Amino acid sequence: MELILLLVVPVIGMVVSFLPKREYSFLVLSGINLGIAVEILNLVLRKGGIFALSNYLFADSLSVLLILIITALTFLAGIYSIPYLKLEEVEEKDKTRYFFLLNAFVFSMLLTAVSNNLGILWVGIEATTLSTAFLVSFYKNPSSIEAGWKYLILCSVGIAFALFGVVILFFSAASSLGYEADALNWTNLMKAASSGGINVNLAKLAFAFVLIGFGTKMGLAPMHTWLPDAHSQAPSPVSALLSGVLLNCAAASILRVGNVLGAAGEKEIVSNLLIFFGALSVILAGLFLLKQKDYKRMLAFSSMEHMGLIAMSSGFGGIGIFAAMFHILNHALTKTLLFMSAGNVLSSLHTREIEKVRGLFKVMPVTAFLFGLGTLAITGTPPFSIFSSEFLIITSGFLTHHLLATLTAMAGLIMVFSGLGLHVTKMLFGEPSFEGNREVPFLQLIVPLFLLIIVLISGVYICQPIEELLNDIQNNVLRFV
């Protein structure tokens, strides 16, 4: 029942987005969904997994991690959107479009998180593309429309590859599961793979297609080219959800399919591919970051780096799984903090160019404080939470003897730290490029401030339910990867 309610709430949100005070309705419904997510967390920790709709919907600890991130960040994005849209002087008809699409986006992400059936999961990922393409081009200027089209075309091509992978995976298990719709249920595929009931060669081919397809959506190199354009042109709350939430849904989808292949005894090929594309993404992100001129694109390439770390750490297996899941959570919180801080700068100064922003500490002191500390957090500086997960990732790489990939990632991390540090330092200090106090309203500051406190606390302390969740993912859900 809880899984169905989780999906019904954003559908109601799509309807009420046509009514007055839609922003407050969105906030209330997001709060309700966050409460449902907490209840699902309690159920999964007690029972190990819950099903709905004839087992087509399913939640285990990996699903719950995604659900918590989606609902919590959606609620915070709702709070932030109220002053943000007012400061951007968005008209009422455009607010209707914004909240309708935002609810559709949330519904499609939640659908991917709770889908047991890989066909439904694919539909959910494709639905995220359709809803967010219009959000990316929300402002209807030439740059945003171009970014929206680029995003739509590249991700649709990627998703087509993923569809081929899902179809091939279906046929790989058809001999044991039959040609029924539930043959694509992840739980059934895992049982078939564990008992030798799938064609391993077909499953390998399926994983290659899925990795390319969902890897495009995840932002892995070299399929990442849509990511900096889309993240830089979308409204800042949408950029935060694209980076902090959507990329994680694609990552989890890859791991689900990889886990089936791992259960069939082909762990090595999954591990090698994840490590290769992960390390490639980290090193390329570091190189691109050094020459960025747009601070929102800069943050987008940072997302590419962290997705690479998550893929690579998952490939390490063992404690690397725990580290990857912890990093998913840390990156989601920290990148949301940064995109909202960047949104404050853009709302006030109306430029995305790094060279045109100077002396933020003098014209926007609170935003500068949040942006500066958020940059330290995202680059893995202690005591922030990303330092903890990155330390675990590097440690797991050395423990599993993946020395080349680990050293490559470390080189990428150094470049990312240098690039982000150089660009953000220029923005924060020096003579102001704008006159007067340009600070945004308090409500637009409270959400990134709250997130900053959370990532600082979680750098030294993990609450027990989250620790149990991450341990269960490592020990029971992704044990074959």
Per-residue pLDDT, averaged over 159-165, amounts to: 95
Kindly state the average pLDDT of the residues 14-36: 94
* Beta partners for residue 59, in sequence order: 50
pTM, 2 dp: 0.96
More confident residue, 456 or 1: 456
Helices 464-472 and 319-349: angle between axes, nearest 10 degrees: 120
Would you say residue 178 has pLDDT above 90? no
Using DSSP's 3-state secondary structure scheme, residue 58 falls into: strand
Beta bridge partners, 52, equal 57
Q: Report the percent of the chain where pLDDT is more than 90.
A: 83
Given pLDDT bands bounded at 50, 70 and 90, which one contains residue 224?
confident
Nearest to 190 by CA among 87, 100, 290, 55: 55
Residue 178 or 349, more confident: 349
Residue 199, pLDDT score = 93
How far CA 158 is from CA of 111, 154, 201, 208, in Å, comes to 19, 6, 22, 12
Which DSSP string corresponds to 78-125?
Answer: HHHHHHHHHHTT--HHHHHHHHHHHHHHHHHHHHHHHB-BHHHHHHHH
pLDDT value at position 58?
93
Q: Residues 214-236: what's their mean pLDDT?
A: 91
Query: Is it the case that residue 74 has pLDDT exceeding 80?
Result: yes
pLDDT tens figures, 433-461 = 887 788 998 889 999 999 999 999 999 99
Coil, helix or strand at residue 246: helix
pLDDT at 183 (0 to 100)? 85
Beta bridge partners of 51: 58
Q: Which two tokens stand for residue 68?
A: 């918590």
Mean pLDDT over 178-184 rounds to: 82
Kindly report, residue by residue over 28-62, the tens digit of the pLDDT.
999 999 999 999 999 999 888 899 988 999 999 99
Confidence label for 174 from pLDDT (cuts 50, 70 and 90): confident
For residues 53 and 51, what is the distance between their CA atoms, to the nearest angstrom?
7
- Alpha-carbon distances of 257 from 93, 119, 190, rounded to whole Å: 41, 12, 9
Q: Is it the case that residue 90 has pLDDT exceeding 90? A: no
User: What is the overall mean pLDDT for the chain?
Assistant: 93
pLDDT band per the 50, 70, 90 thresholds, residue 323: very high
